[in-house]
Amino acid sequence: MVITRFAPSPTGNLNIGGVRAAIFAYLYARHKKGKFLLRIEDTDKERSKNEYEENIIESLAWLNVSYDSLFHQSEHLERHTSVLKKMIENNTAYVSKEIPTEPGGRTEVIRFKNPNRMVVFNDIVRGDISMDTSDLGDFVIAKSLEEPLFHLAVVVDDWDEGVTHVIRGEDHISNTPRQILLQEAIGAPTPIYAHLPLILGPDRSKLSKRKGAKSITEYRDMGYLPEAIFNYDAFLGWHPGGEEEVFNQTELIERFTLENVQKSGAIFDEVKLAWFNREHIARLSPEAFIEYAKQFLSTETLEALTNANLLEKLVPIMRERIQNFAELRELDTQGEFSYYTTRPSYETERLFWKTDTDPIKTSERLKKTQDILTSIPEDNWCETIVKETLWPYAEEAGRGAVLWPLRYSLSGRDKSPDPFVIASIIGKNETIQRISQAIKQLA
């Protein structure tokens, strides 16, 4: 059975690049009907913080990345100590006297007795990798019996947890030969390795917190969908082949293979991420869309739209206008939803189409428009019928000259959806009344 793990150190919030290793290990385990473990590598007491661990757990839950077990490395200390003792006993490690390099520094550490040989391993992504470990010398594996360091802890934990596949970032490649030597020394099996390509910024430099790697919870708060982040991250170094790119988690699990992981760096691109988000927003059911919208619209707007029974009707319009839900909040703040529920007020001159500043002509056209719209039976009132009925007149008298004053009388704004959309949402009666108000202002 395949067992993979994600082994983050809780030294920062989980970011869009860091979570990629979790997603790949998760996809592989689920594809193989195996197990996926989360191991919080919290042995470094000074740098590990509870809030970061909480952030990691919260982010994975939000992304719907479930694990079969959760471990804390710090809870395995006794086991690490006993392994260290055994290594000292059988001479694969030793207590080494040190000359402290700084005041108060250690006078004793535990070093690995390096057999100084060539280590070769096969990486699923990168093929055969060999490294002469004699350059490493007798590297330190613990500060003391109670203070194991990274390599020892990882090797012992992977063994104890039965990890079969270590899927992690390429920055760990140089650690692997050391870890293989330790496995051999303690009699642990060597797992299969797959090192994922580096994630690069658009300028091809390594992605870092300073360079645009936002945390998962920041994206959540910006109104990104977990499905979009998951989908986008799955494509950071992997592609199922073919044209299609938008997949949900189940579809990704079905398609995922380690063999398709690329060697070369994966470019992280905010624009592409926004595209994925828009695609996944397009796939939300109206009910799910409304659930998200509710988290981002102001209470007043929400109340006004609910009372006017307009929330559902506005879903296609809102969907069309956003790439993330925070943009909905922005549109709301700019009053972009107020004119659906409240008759707008504006300055009369704004009704004029460009240089067409004759109030009488504008008024006449609005009157004619109103007559045409009045002829539509209430039951037939919808975007298509309103457009089809008015269109011949708009063509005849000039589209801008007819549609601008109409749109402005309905929204009171320079920018808004077209008048047919607004008319269909506010209904026949309100449309006719708003045109009357405009005609009155022009008199």
Shortest Å distance, C-beta 167 to ligand GLU: 8
Based on the shown chain and the rule CB under 6 A, indicate whether residue 41 belongs to the binding site for ligand GLU: yes
Which residue stretch of 1-9, 53-61, 334-342, 369-377 sits at the interface with ligand GLU (rule: CB under 6 A)? 1-9
Supply 409's token pair: 């009388």
Q: Which residue's CB is nearer to ligand GLU, number 4 or number 370? A: 4
Comparison of 30 and 168: residue with beta carbon closer to ligand GLU: 168
Q: Which of 3, 4, 8, 249 binds ligand GLU (CB under 6 A)?
A: 8
CB of 181 to ligand GLU, least distance (A): 15
H helix runs in 36-172, sequence order: 50-62, 77-89, 150-160
> What stretches of 164-248 show up as alpha helix (H) in DSSP?
176-186, 216-221, 226-234
Q: Which residues pair with 90 in a beta bridge?
A: none
Length of the chain as a residue count: 443
Distances 216 to 63, 288, 363 between C-alpha atoms, Å: 9, 20, 53
**Nearest approach, Cβ of 328 to ligand GLU (angstroms)?**
35
Comparison of 215 and 324: residue with beta carbon closer to ligand GLU:
215
Using the Cα atoms of residue 44, residue 46, residue 50 and residue 56 in order, give the sign of their dihedral. Answer: negative
From CA 60, how far away is CA 217, in angstroms rounded? 10
Q: Does 168 bind ligand GLU (CB under 6 A)?
A: yes
Sign of CA dihedral 347, 348, 350, 354: negative
**Helix axes 286-296 and 311-321, enclosed angle (nearest 10):** 80
Stretch that binds ligand GLU, among 6-14, 104-112, 250-258, 272-280 (CB under 6 A): 6-14
- Do the beta carbons of residue 37 and residue 4 sit within 8 Å? yes
The whole-angstrom separation of Cα 44 and Cα 376 is 73
Residue 152: CB partners within 8 Å, gap ≥ 6? 80, 83, 84, 141, 142, 182
Question: Interaction with ligand GLU in 122-161: which residues (CB under 6 A)?
Answer: 154
CB closer to ligand GLU, 20 vs 428: 20
Size of residue set near ligand GLU by CB under 6 A = 7
Q: For ligand GLU, which residue of 3, 4, 9, 229 counts as binding (CB under 6 A)?
A: 9
The span of 7-15, 199-207, 265-273, 356-364 binding ligand GLU (CB under 6 A) equals 7-15
**CA dist., res. 369 & res. 311, Å (int):** 28
Whichever of 161 and 364 has its CB closer to ligand GLU, that residue is: 161
Stretches 2-10, 252-260, 372-380, 388-396: which one binds ligand GLU (CB under 6 A)?
A: 2-10
195 binds ligand GLU (CB under 6 A): no
**7 makes contact with ligand GLU (CB under 6 A):** yes
Please report how close the Cβ of residue 156 comes to ligand GLU at its closest, in angstroms.
Answer: 12
Contact residues toward ligand GLU (CB under 6 A) are: 7-9, 41, 154, 168, 172
